[in-house]
Structure 1
Amino acid sequence: MANTLFYLSLSVIWIMLLYHMFLMQGGYFHYLRYRRPIPEWEKNQQPLPKVSVLIPAHNEEVVIERTIKAMLRLDYPKDKLEIVVINDNSRDRTGEIADEYASKYPYVKVVHTKPPHAGKGKSGALNQGLAHSSGEVIVVYDADNTPERKAVYYLVLALLNDPKAGAVVGKFRVVNAATNLLTRFINIETICFQWMAQAGRFFWFRVTTIPGTNFAIRRSLVEELGGWDEKALAEDTELTIRVYNEGYYIRFFPAAITWEQEPESWKVWWKQRTRWARGNQYVVLKFMWRIFSLRKKSIMFDLIYFFFTYFLFFMGVIVSDVLFVTNMFVDLHLQVGIVAMILWILAYFLYVTEVMIALSIERTELNIKNFLIVLLMYFTYSQLWIVLVVYALYLEFKRVVFRQELKWYKTERFAADKKAAPPAERQV
């Protein structure tokens, strides 16, 4: 029995690794092709629509001014641009800072939410911002984001020229990647996510997940869907499923780039990633039971991917690790022969290969330092994710059984370092 479980769990791990290599191939192909339609799109010269940029902000005084300044630098007609900062029941100077800019720039608007419809999470803030906006296209940025000048233009350009796309997703990079080892881990993680999960799935299946930031969506579609789900911790993933179910797809267009701040301490990382894991588990459980009734069948790949990631894959890793360690102290008659060892070693090298291919797409990231970090990452950062997912499952189980109210955790921000400014900002 122990041998069967061990090799079954090892098989699950290998399936996931091979699937990610398949995605990585698609991601690389997408990287080679995604810019090709831009010249033709620009020749079409379609009139640009009015855009409302929604920025939910709860206690964001550390970063909000830098973000608003980035919005002011956007290369988009100002008479067709509306910047909506949602000051969501902040207890610091977030609202004051936003109001100062709103008094100077007519296209900057501040929405001050108040109890009882305030401070309940990002979804609620976005719904409030939507109600006070007027753009035909809705663009969302987190309060710690500094998009490059043409980011919104590229998002809108792709949306205008792709009528089948309900939303367009851009690429995000880590602005504070060089701060410490944790931020270097996260930087590598986000690059892999862009070119594997986002670009790879879009190339092969036309499936992309809406992230929490740097995306554009048709206002008519958001209103048709009834806005954001205020019960979802991962409101972006939940919205993704509903967009596909309406018959649209989501385009991944990495020409639109934003730079965002990532956690610089393990405590902040743990809380943020736990919210992400719980949010994705919520989405899987919400839609998995009616997977075959979804209108857009391609979204089945997304649901199966999340189910595999947050349930089967991590369970496979846990079972194999527990059996291997237990067998060292209690004889389970586990036959971990040379074949199993070879498979484990090959899995490790396949993991490193996948990550290095992803890093090679970003020209500044393929270097010796990152290679050494990737070698370490497998045994540290990646393994910590296993513990985190188990903890998130435990919290979700408690919430369902005891009918607990969901509590939103807002990621703690850190004072901006001038050395960590985005490339475009350094040139200003």
Structure 2
Amino acid sequence: MNWLTVTCTILVILGSLPLWVSMYQFLIIGIHSRRNHYARTAACYPRVSILVPAWNEASVLTSTIKILMNMSYPKDKLRIYVIDDASTDETPQLMAEKTRQFPNNVFHLRRENGGQGKAHTLNHGIRLVLEEDWSEAFLIMDADVLFEQNALRKMTRHLSDPQVGAVTAYIKEGSRPGNLMTRFIDFEYITAQAASRRAQNVMSFMACLAGGAQLHTRKNLEAIGGAIDTSSLAEDTFTTFKTQLAGHQAIFDGNAIVWAEEPDNIDGLWKQRLRWARGNWQITKQYWHLWFNKTAHARLGGFAFGMIWFAILLMPVYMILAATGLVVLFFSDFAWSWMLFRMFWILNVIVYVFVTLFSLLIDPKSARQSWSAGVLFPGLISLTVIVLSYFPGALEAVLLRGQEYQDWREMGIGTRVAVLFIYSWLALSMVAALLAKCVEKTPLKKLAMPLLLLSGYGPLLCAITFNSYVAELRGKEMKWDKTEKSGKVEIQ
């Protein structure tokens, strides 16, 4: 092999890293039943202050407060603080009613000058509540999140272990009626939360405590400074890192279930995930000394955590590397490029089938509602290649018309275009997903979902991540784009 072939082969191998990392995480889940934190739990009912940041959330607060008050948790150990970020809707009037209805449990903390974002709003409430000695634990949540009746009790049981500083719940998409987008998110949450966070429990680290449902001991909250980070767009991830760097354990409880309303269109998802992705870059830069450095922290500095973190953060780069390697090899050594292409997609088949089936088994209830989104997750074009890769000779029959080519010059123009297109698709799928986002705001918006089906939900997330690179490099303003809520979330 010459240097060009070796270099391009390395690019394709690097492009497959996220697949190997995904498989590794899901294999780890297999021992979660034997290696988890449940054996170290016991009934535990600390005095919990629930902090609910709210800006113009009148449409959801009535339901949220009602459900919180109906939880199976001692009412004398429960206080709900709605931190009103200078709302201009009916929130003040609604809260006046709720504080009269529940005088010992519901409190209204209002900021007259708001608009600085969730972290600043939370810190206003944390500061006031910490001034009193009553609170032994703090539950940080979003105004639209609905807790199942026993969710808080399942979270607090972990606090019986003094090593635990924070616990996060399993947030599920609960919009009803839903649509294709919410079903995609529903399936994604099975893989990203029910699956990945179980694996992280096994490996004794946590990448992120869900911003909509995170429980902290008073000791932990004070240890991380008694405030939420306001310097980034990922205050929940910063809190997670600080918790573990302070020597406390962060736990995910997949049986503590809460329901949230998620974006139901591409633009809404784009705003939400761009904020998350930019926050992850800010985390990466802030803790640059931590990566792959076990002397800085035994777990967060470990190889496994670094690989998982960068497999997500650099996913678009991996996709572009693999596509670039294949396209260059197409011209320099077609026979070798075809073999690598086949191997890459056979690995895709294995990971896709394993992850999809495993995810559906982890949460059968959600699986019944989102199985079609799981199947369509990579997009119709990638799904077609995955299916063809499963059957020996099928790709050759479709793309090469049953011929064995040693050089691209032997092909007809149609075959060349088809092969180059499918080699490039890993990168082009992100472009197609971006096009779907752009089309959604035009008179041709009905084409947005068909384009998304072709490109895939996964490539859409990668396109958002790539956009975060651009936003961070340009030093774009850290604007908090609040996700619009309609109050259509239900406990299923």
TM normalised by structure 1 equals 0.87
Is the 8 Å Cα contact of residues 169 and 210 (structure 1) preserved in structure 2? yes
Is the 8 Å Cα contact of residues 41 and 157 (structure 1) preserved in structure 2? yes
The answer to whether structure 1 residue 357 and structure 2 residue 358 are counterparts is yes
**Equivalent residues in 2 for 1:25-424 (5 A)?**
25-30=27-32, 37=39, 41-42=42-43, 48-106=45-103, 107-115=105-113, 118-133=114-129, 134-159=134-159, 161-176=160-175, 179-226=178-225, 227-291=227-291, 292=293, 295-301=296-302, 302-311=305-314, 313-322=315-324, 324=326, 331=331, 335-367=336-368, 370-379=370-379, 380-399=456-475, 405-416=477-488, 421-423=490-492
Aligned counterparts of 2:350 and 2:470: Cα–Cα separation in 1 = 32
SS in 1 for 2:31: helix
SS in 1 for 2:51: strand
User: Deviation of residue 332 (structure 1)?
Assistant: 5.8
Aligned counterparts of 2:76 and 2:325: Cα–Cα separation in 1 = 63
Instruction: Identify which range, 16-25 or 251-260, moves more after superposition.
Output: 16-25
- Percent of aligned pairs with the same amino acid: 26
Instruction: Identify which range, 166-175 or 16-25, moves more after superposition.
Output: 16-25
User: Deviation of residue 383 (structure 1)?
Assistant: 0.9
Aligned counterparts of 1:55 and 1:201: Cα–Cα separation in 2 = 27
1:58-106, Cα deviation, whole Å (9 max, x unpaired) = 2222322221111111111111111011111222223332332112102
SS in 1 for 2:187: helix
1:171-207, Cα deviation, whole Å (9 max, x unpaired) = 1111127611111100000011123321101113343
Q: Which amino acid aligns with 1:130?
A: I
Return the index of the structure with the highest Cα Rg: 2
Q: Which amino acid aligns with 2:156?
A: V
| Structure 2 residue aligned with 1:426 | none
Q: Which amino acid aligns with 2:112?
A: K
Aligned counterparts of 1:294 and 1:178: Cα–Cα separation in 2 = 49
Aligned counterparts of 1:146 and 1:306: Cα–Cα separation in 2 = 29
Aligned counterparts of 2:317 and 2:6: Cα–Cα separation in 1 = 15
User: Deviation of residue 382 (structure 1)?
Assistant: 0.6
User: Deviation of residue 376 (structure 1)?
Assistant: 1.8
User: Deviation of residue 129 (structure 1)?
Assistant: 1.2
Distance 1:323-1:304 versus aligned 2 partners, 3 A rule: closer
Aligned counterparts of 1:91 and 1:352: Cα–Cα separation in 2 = 49
User: Deviation of residue 3 (structure 1)?
Assistant: 4.2
Is the 8 Å Cα contact of residues 52 and 81 (structure 2) preserved in structure 1? yes
Aligned counterparts of 1:167 and 1:71: Cα–Cα separation in 2 = 20
| Structure 1 residue aligned with 2:395 | none
SS in 1 for 2:479: coil
Instruction: Identify which range, 287-296 or 56-65, moves more after superposition.
Output: 287-296
Is the 8 Å Cα contact of residues 356 and 366 (structure 1) preserved in structure 2? no
SS in 2 for 1:143: coil
Aligned counterparts of 1:314 and 1:5: Cα–Cα separation in 2 = 19
Distance 1:60-1:271 versus aligned 2 partners, 3 A rule: same
1:354-413, Cα deviation, whole Å (9 max, x unpaired) = 12202211122445x7444323211210111221111111001111xxxx5421111111
User: Deviation of residue 35 (structure 1)?
Assistant: 8.6
Q: Which amino acid aligns with 1:91?
A: T
Aligned counterparts of 2:328 and 2:20: Cα–Cα separation in 1 = 28
Aligned counterparts of 2:327 and 2:461: Cα–Cα separation in 1 = 19
Instruction: Identify which range, 352-361 or 298-307, moves more after superposition.
Output: 298-307
User: Deviation of residue 303 (structure 1)?
Assistant: 4.7
Distance 1:326-1:15 versus aligned 2 partners, 3 A rule: closer
User: Deviation of residue 224 (structure 1)?
Assistant: 2.5
Distance 1:177-1:361 versus aligned 2 partners, 3 A rule: farther
Distance 1:36-1:284 versus aligned 2 partners, 3 A rule: closer
Aligned counterparts of 1:263 and 1:407: Cα–Cα separation in 2 = 18
Distance 1:372-1:79 versus aligned 2 partners, 3 A rule: closer
TM normalised by structure 2 equals 0.76
Q: CA RMSD in A?
A: 2.5
1:313-333, Cα deviation, whole Å (9 max, x unpaired) = 3211022235556888xx465
1:247-278, Cα deviation, whole Å (9 max, x unpaired) = 11111122221111111111111100100100
Unaligned runs of 5+ in 1: 424-428
Aligned counterparts of 2:288 and 2:75: Cα–Cα separation in 1 = 43
Q: Which amino acid aligns with 2:311?
A: F
Aligned counterparts of 1:150 and 1:223: Cα–Cα separation in 2 = 27
Aligned counterparts of 1:393 and 1:35: Cα–Cα separation in 2 = 36
Aligned counterparts of 1:60 and 1:32: Cα–Cα separation in 2 = 42
SS in 1 for 2:198: helix
1:107-150, Cα deviation, whole Å (9 max, x unpaired) = 101111122xx221111111111122241100111111000111
Distance 1:206-1:68 versus aligned 2 partners, 3 A rule: same
Is the 8 Å Cα contact of residues 5 and 329 (structure 2) preserved in structure 1? no
Aligned counterparts of 1:191 and 1:282: Cα–Cα separation in 2 = 26
SS in 2 for 1:268: helix
Aligned counterparts of 1:202 and 1:365: Cα–Cα separation in 2 = 22
Q: Which amino acid aligns with 2:107?
A: K
